[in-house]
Structure formats: C-alpha cells, structure tokens
Chains A and B, each alone.
Chain A
Amino acid sequence: MTLSGTASSELITDDWRIHGSVYTSADVFALEQRRLFHGPWLYVAHESELREPGDYKTTFAGTQPVIVTRGSDDGRIRVLLNRCRHRGAAVCHAESGNANYFRCPYHGWTYRNSGELRGITYDDAYPELDREALGLVALPRVASFAGFIFATFADAGPTLEDYLGNARSYLEIVAGQGEAGIRLTAGSHRLAYRGNWKLQVENTIDNYHFGFVHRSFLDVLADRIGAAPPIVQNIMNNPDWRTIDLGGGHSVHEFGDPHTGNNQGQLGDLPFNLIIFPNLCFVGAQVRHILPKAADRTEVRLYPIMHEGEPDEANAAILRVHESFYGPAGMGGADDIEVAFDRVSDGLGAVEHDWLIMSRGVHREQPGENGTLIGHAADEVPQRAFYRQWKRLMEDAA
C-alpha cells in the first residue's frame, strides 16, 4: 500500500527523520485507522465507571463511536458499536448512565444492553428479517487488566496480557495508587485542538520540552516553593530518571524508583509517565485518553485518578493539583496546546523541506531486561518506541 506515492516505510528513515505527512496526511490517518485502531487492543474504560449491572459509557474505538456496557443480566462487559442496525443512528447519546435497553430515536428499534435486538416497531413489514443477527455489533474481544478495560476488533491475535507485555507492571502500580485502589469517578477535562493525535502522544512523554514550554509554570513553582524547582535539573542530569522503550510501542519515563518516584513538579503523584500504544497515557495524576478525529483534529480526555479508601479532602487535593497544571485553563496544559500542537501544526505547513528529527539520544540507548531499551530522561526514546511499532503495523501487508 502506498500513501500518495510514498511507501509508509519511507516516512521514517533509518536515522530517525520523520516525514511531515505522518502528521498531516489524510491517507496516513485512514491507514492508521485500519492498522493501529483495528487489530491492537484499545482502551475503552476503567472498571470503576461501570460498577453496577446496566451501567454504560459512550466513547470511541479509534474514530468509531462505541458503548461500553455492563450487562443487566450477566454483569459482563461488552463493547458495542453505537449505531442502529436499521438506518445508522447512534442509539445512545448520553456520556454515561444506567439502562437496560437502548432505543433508537429514529424508528424505535430497541436493543438490550447486551446488544441483542429486542424489538422492531410495526415489524409486520419485515417478514424475512433475521433478528438474531441484528444486534448492535459487538467488538469480538474485551478484556481487562488491573481494572483497565480494553477491546479489539480482531477475532484472533495476542491476549491483552501479551499485548501489554512489559507495561503490565506499571499498570499494576497505577492501580495501586490509592489505599484501596483507584476510581475514575471525577469526570474528565476535555480538550480539542487542530492538529494530529500523535502530537499529544509524543508531548505526553517528552521531557526535553519542559523547561521551555513550561517556563512560566516553573516561575510559578519557584514562587510556590521559594527555591529553584528541581524538575529540570533532574530531567537533564539525574541518572535515575530514565526513559524506557518497553516494546510493543509502549514506553515509560521513570522518576527514579517506579513505585516511589515523584516528578517533583507538583504535577500529580504518579511515579512515572506511561504510554500504552497507541492512545492511552498516564501522566501527573491522570488517565489521558487521546481520541483521533481526523489528520488535523484531535480530542483528549483527562480523567483525574481518585484514590479509593481515602478521605474526600485527599481526593479534592489531587483535583486541585491536577487543575493547576492540566485542562483548558491549566497553567501548563494550555501552553502545550499552544506550542506542541498549534505551533507545530502551523510549522508543518512549510512542506518544502518536510522532515522532523526524532534521533535525540539514539546513540546512547542501552538494552535492558526483556528486550527493553533504556535512555536518558530527556531523550526521545519513548517517541521512537511509539514509531517503531507504528512503522511495523503500517508496513504490514493489508
């Protein structure tokens, strides 16, 4: 398959230049939807969002709208395409709730929350219709790890555990953040920007930018703590702060010990930033779900991680720290939107020389255990981890 005459293998060079069309081309975006978002396991929800039978939330698997439901009868979690089998209307528009049935508003076709077609209005006009085959289309496999629910469009392939690989131990650490676990029950910040979804993935685990994009926040932090904030020195010089290519496109940036580390930036207390390929991130004290919409359009949801079994005041304090930096009015997040997405998207319009450089620290990547690659904190190890997998999947025969 070629992309406007360019093979996807040529979009990333051996010396780690990345072609601008990776971020701007509608053809690349369409191919990503077939290769990255149709086969790999995709995050859809956390179990705390679907505690009771009948609970549901709407979200997206790639660009496709889905409903994640917990069956009223069997308690089983399913991921259903949010599309009436009759004439295509979305059967559920609420973000979350509890329902035994979804009734299409167009002509009244009704589905159980397990997906099964329950009723067709005035159905004598359909003598031949096979109702058994006309449930809401379910993604064939759904699985959960450490409370995080994933689904895939692929009937066969690796199990979720195999897919997550070296990232599993980090997800378990996230799940153990609260005294009695975690819950995503505080809603989410929602961001929209004109720019490619991968810019948000790259920026989430980019440490090189912190002292530049977040200079104004560092000034605030210096005022807050009455001293120079240690975060930039740690990023540039602390050998215990490391970036790791975990394999499979996943990556992590550890702030020292993965159980007890802290970014020392008053950004939230997760001991690392983590990317689960392709579009799930953990940063600060949040789960970040990146929703690609088009080559140049992205939405992002930031779910603050609440600690189960801890008092309201402790969780409210987590929210206040999160809001201080993240979200549309955050003192850091808004600068990421401005620089890492808007300015980059502006600059990518200059296609005369259409290459970016992603080779920072490639010469000093060191092999670690289980096939990992380890680099300095401000090196582009995580970005290369992502694009190694990106390239692998995009080059696979259709």
Chain B
Amino acid sequence: MTAEEFLYHEAALLDDRRFEEWLTLFDEDALYWIPQGDEPDPIHHVSIAYDDRRRLRERVLRLASGFAHSQDPPSRTCHLIANVRTEPAGDEELEVASTLLVAEVRRNVQQIYAGHVRHRLIAREDSFLIRRKVVRLVNSDVPLGNLSFLI
C-alpha cells in the first residue's frame, strides 16, 4: 500500500463510520490535532482538538455510546483527498501533505470543511501507522457549530 492509498483507506473508514477500525490506524503515541488559527501553538493557544491516543479512543467510545446527541442522527461525510505529496522523514517515517475537502450532511444542512492535512506515517509491514495527523482547517478561527464528527 502506498501512502496515498493509505490516506484513501483512512478516509473510507471515516466515511463508513468504522471508527474503531479507524482508531487502529493510530500508533500508541499518536497525536490527532485540529489547531485553531494561523499560528498554531498547542502550549499557549487553544486548539479545536489536541488528542493523544487515549483521548482519541474516548472520542470513539463516545460516538459508540448511543447517547452522543450531536451525532444523533450521525453526520454523513464525504472526505475528498487531493494534492498528496510525500517526503521521507527519517528511516521508517514519511511526512505526507494533502488537501482535504469534507462535505458533511446532518439534519438537512450541508457544511463544507476544507483544510491542509499533514500525516506523519510509520511504515508497518505492507501498510502504515499514523504517528501524527494535523488538520489545519481554513475556517478554524471563524465561529463554528457542531464539529463532533471525526475529520
């Protein structure tokens, strides 16, 4: 599997709402980060999400609880990934930049989210593990509504 194919695989799991399977794509030390604003600094500035693997697992747990009202009904999403560029980062890792467009439909309203994504991937057998996923939404600092689905 190429890194590009891996990104498509991840997007398919999200669109199919196979979240527990999606979670297994992440390394134990993984970071899932949706910064807010132009100059993200998670130490001094609030983020939309800054999840370690434990917190990410809680998100998936919540969505599966049956009581996550903001995902009842769940968002239907379509993740479109483009402009994939890959560069080596150390012996076993790859840095993959892509652009992302997510159409989300929920309760009769369609929202569009777009962003620049960077994946840090670790090669594992014929696939990859995600060490870090950073989604820089172009609208991260405008007033947002319900962003409780997974990007």
Number of contacts between A and B (CB, 8 Å)? 104
Count of chain A residues with Cβ under 8 Å from any Cβ of B?
38
Q: Give the chain A neighbours of B143 by CB distance below 8 A.
A: 190-192, 299-300
Q: Give the chain A neighbours of B102 by CB distance below 8 A.
A: none
Q: Give the chain B neighbours of A189 by CB distance below 8 A.
A: 36, 46, 48
Give complex CA distance A192, B143 in Å.
Answer: 5
A160 at the A/B interface (Cβ < 8 Å)? no
Give complex CA distance A219, B72 in Å.
Answer: 16
Give complex CA distance A335, B45 in Å.
Answer: 24
B96 at the A/B interface (Cβ < 8 Å)? no
Q: Give the chain A neighbours of B66 by CB distance below 8 A.
A: 216
Give complex CA distance A220, B65 in Å.
Answer: 9
Q: Give the chain B neighbours of A329 by CB distance below 8 A.
A: 34, 48-49, 147-148
Contact indicator A188/B44 (Cβ below 8 Å): no
Q: Give the chain A neighbours of B50 by CB distance below 8 A.
A: 319-320, 323
Question: Known interface pairs A213-B69, A338-B146. Does A219 touch B46 (Cβ–Cβ under 8 Å)?
Answer: no
Within 8 A of B (CB), among A204-235: 213, 215-217, 219-220, 223-224
Q: State the Cβ distance, B8 to closest chain A Cβ, in Å.
A: 23
Q: Give the chain A neighbours of B48 by CB distance below 8 A.
A: 189, 323, 327-329
Q: Give the chain A neighbours of B34 by CB distance below 8 A.
A: 329
Contact indicator B61/A219 (Cβ below 8 Å): yes
Q: State the Cβ distance, B112 to closest chain A Cβ, in Å.
A: 15
Within 8 A of B (CB), among A305-323: 312, 315-316, 319-320, 322-323
B58 at the A/B interface (Cβ < 8 Å)? yes
Q: State the Cβ distance, A146 to closest chain B Cβ, in Å.
A: 22
Q: Determine which of A322, A323, A335 lies in contact with B69 in the assembled complex, contact meaning CB atoms within 8 Å.
A: A335
Q: State the Cβ distance, B46 to closest chain A Cβ, in Å.
A: 5
Q: Determine which of B47, B67, B141, B146 lies in contact with A323 in the assembled complex, contact meaning CB atoms within 8 Å.
A: B47
Q: Give the chain B neighbours of A315 by CB distance below 8 A.
A: 43-44
Contact indicator A190/B144 (Cβ below 8 Å): yes
Q: Give the chain A neighbours of B147 by CB distance below 8 A.
A: 328-329, 334
Which chain A residues have a beta carbon within 8 Å of chain B's beta carbons? 185-193, 213, 215-217, 219-220, 223-224, 299-300, 304, 312, 315-316, 319-320, 322-324, 327-329, 331, 334-335, 337-339, 342
13 residue pairs bridging A and B, Cβ less than 8 Å apart: A187-B36, A187-B37, A190-B142, A191-B145, A219-B61, A320-B50, A328-B48, A331-B59, A331-B62, A335-B68, A337-B145, A338-B69, A338-B146
Q: Which 8 A-B pairs have the closest CB atoms?
A: A192-B143, A334-B148, A334-B70, A215-B67, A328-B147, A328-B144, A216-B67, A338-B70
Which chain B residues have a beta carbon within 8 Å of chain A's beta carbons? 34, 36-37, 42-50, 55, 58-59, 61-63, 65-70, 72, 107, 141-148
